[in-house]
Structures are given as structure tokens and as C-alpha cells.
Amino acid sequence: MQFNSAIDPDTLRAYEETHYRVLGDAPATLRIGHANPELAKLHRAFDVDCSAFVTAANPFSTLTRATDNAVRQAALAEQLGGMGLRFIEGIGEHPSGTWPGEPSFLVLGITLSDAKQLSMQYRQNAIVWCDSDTVPQLILLR
């Protein structure tokens, strides 16, 4: 894919290749551009037609200490709860294993606008957006 972005092309490629794993009782692995039947089941179970996979970890893809990431992720969880949103823990992992997995959340029913705004607040480069077709899309924020 070609992107017009301030984000380094190698970083963009890594985002496209990452496995975005939803944990919990109904696990799913989201891949950019690939429809996901497990995600479709989650959308139906929670009666939503969209979701976003977001993180507060490693702002602007700068490797940050695990303890700092945990604090940021806890703040994100508190904010999501305060917004009345339902979310499931996840982790973003590149198959090469060269970058530590990033704690994340699949946020159910969040609007694209809210997901973008929230992720920009936590200084993220991108989110994974899942519309009613359950084909995860990489949405760049810079």
C-alpha cells in the first residue's frame, strides 16, 4: 500500500504486517485487509457495527519502558470506561518478534472520529479500524 504520511515507511510496513490479537473469551487475530469472522461474531454479540483496536503504548512508535506503557494503558482503560465504552484487552505483535508486543484494546462500538481523537491524545501514529464489513483497516493519524 502507498501512504502519504509523516510516518517512516518501514514503520508503516510493520503496522500492516502486525497481528492485532484480541484476547479474552472470544479470541481473534486481526490482520489489515483481511475479513475476520471472529470479529463479526464479536460485533454481533455486542450489538455493534464497528470497533477499533487502539493502544496508549509507545507514543509515536518510540519504544517506552513497560512500566510507563502500563500506566498509559491504565489511563486509556479508565478513559474508555468513563466514556461508557466496552472494550476487550488485546496485544499487537509483529510476527518477527523484533518489537515487544504492545498492550491494546479492541473498543466495541466506538466511532471512527472518537477512536482517532482518543488515539491522537495518546500520541499514536495509527489505529486499526473495523467497520461493519469486519475488514480491519489501518487508519493513519499523521
Residues (pLDDT < 50) of the chain are: 1-2
pLDDT, tens digit (0-9, with 9 covering 90-100), for 65-83:
999 999 999 999 999 999 9
Expressed in percent and rounded to 5, the helix, strand and coil fractions of the chain are 35, 25, 40
Cβ neighbours of residue 43 under 8 Å, at least 6 residues apart? 49, 50, 51, 108, 130, 132, 134
Q: What is the pLDDT of residue 7?
A: 86
Q: How far apart are CA 132 and CA 57, in angstroms?
A: 26
The number of C-alpha atoms within 13 Å of 38 and in the hemisphere containing its C-beta is 14
Taking phi first (over 0 means left), then psi (-120 to 50 degrees means alpha), and beta for anything else, what does residue 76 get? alpha
Query: Which residue, among 139, 111, 142, 116, has the nearest Cα to 20 in the 3D structure?
Result: 139
pTM: 0.93
Pairing of strands 19-22, 102-108: unpaired
